[in-house]
Copies of this chain bind each other. A is one copy, B any other.
Amino acid sequence: MSQNQQSYHVAVVGATGAVGQKMIQTLEAQNFPIDKISLLASERSAGKKVLFNGEEVEIKEALPEAFEGVDIALFSAGGSISKKLAPEAVKRGAVVVDNTSAYRMDPEVPLVVPEVNEEDIKEHNGIIANPNCSTIQMVAALEPIREAYGLKRVIVSTYQAVSGAGNAAADELKEQSQSFLNGDELNAEILPVKGDEKHYPIAFNALPQIDVFQDNGYTFEEMKMINETKKIMHLTELPVSATCVRLPFFTSHAESVYVEVEQEGASVGQIKELFQNAPGVVLEDDPETQTYPTPLSAEGKRDVFIGRIRQDLDQANGYHLWVVSDNLLKGAAWNSVQIAQSIIENNWLKK
């Protein structure tokens, strides 16, 4: 029996969350070779039933013993759950693809965007980390440029969707928007950060805070983009800087990326050509016809869309890009499933 005809016991942890739901849909859509699926969530969700490939599957509580016999476990239930349960899954023989920040900067854990560093997967010790959503789409866009011209520095300002903060944040945007249109007061309880002290309305607003503040004045989201980019690209010395902003749309993150390259002289046409030939990215860039990606146009798609490519007017080795991708798909569920597919296709399940 060839590798490709095998099938696997797959677990999804956080099956009722915004990303977990997309993971389930993506596994279905990919015809991922599954002989058994375990959908795991908190005690509160246990007992609910979900359709998978046309059959009802009961959601079970995410307990250590739920990972018995699991080959691949996709985690997206928050960092503390991953810290507690990923080792339990690994102990029982599963390979974990973890979509939280729990293990991303652990030097023993590969942090993978398949278009950039697929080979890193094989170094895993049971856990492979899925990067932060805003990082994934940026490095997918940077990789073709790095390959052709080398990278000298990156400055990014983000435009991020509320679904990155979960279903409750999306509900909050919906409710606040309706209140605003009705002329009622806005009730803010979730954003910018559920567990933080203050909450601000997101409807018809912009919040320059995603995740909690660090001692250096950057938010954790900004530090994730900075540190994860260096790790994924194996460019530990690359200057990367980020300002992350939450905005009132539901899906897809957009990014205004400034990049300086090592080897100057490339025309905008040559940069565009790179994207036409690179995996996982789609060029949508034609000022003549007002063609550029937007959060709405990228929603529900797996690719990273790139437009507004311009040469800096002063810096010969500087370029500006506008990078958009569905934060729940390439930014989370699809990248996780890509990693899982790579694991089975390359026979990297067991070390």
Contact = CB atoms under 8 A, between A and B. Distances in A.
Contacts of A217: 268, 287, 308-311
A200 interface: yes
A110 interface: no
A248 B180 CA distance: 13
B205 A249 contact: yes
26 contacts: A157-B243, A157-B256, A159-B159, A174-B181, A177-B181, A192-B290, A197-B289, A197-B290, A200-B296, A201-B296, A204-B249, A206-B295, A209-B290, A213-B287, A213-B288, A213-B290, A217-B311, A218-B313, A239-B313, A239-B314, A239-B315, A240-B314, A241-B313, A245-B254, A247-B247, A248-B249
A313 B226 contact: yes
A322 B320 CA distance: 19
Interface of A: 153, 155, 157, 159, 174, 177-178, 181, 192, 196-198, 200-201, 204-209, 213, 216-218, 226, 239-241, 243, 245, 247-250, 254, 256, 258, 268, 287-290, 292, 294-296, 307-315, 318, 320, 322
Contacts of A241: 258, 312-315, 318, 320
Residue from A174, A204, A226, A249 with most neighbouring chain B CB atoms (10 Å): A204
A28 to B, nearest CB: 25
Contacts of A213: 287-288, 290
A226 to B, nearest CB: 7
Contacts of A311: 217
Number of identical monomers bound together in the oligomeric complex: 2
Contact of A200 (B177, B209, B294): B294
Contacts of A250: 204
Residue from A157, A207, A216 with most neighbouring chain B CB atoms (10 Å): A157
A309 B241 CA distance: 13
A264 B29 CA distance: 54
Contacts of A256: 157, 208, 243, 245, 256
A207 B178 CA distance: 22
Residue from A159, A177, A290, A309 with most neighbouring chain B CB atoms (10 Å): A290
Contacts of A155: 155, 258
A294 B205 CA distance: 7
Given A226-B313, A294-B200, A320-B243, A308 B208 contact: yes
A166 to B, nearest CB: 17
B268 A208 contact: no
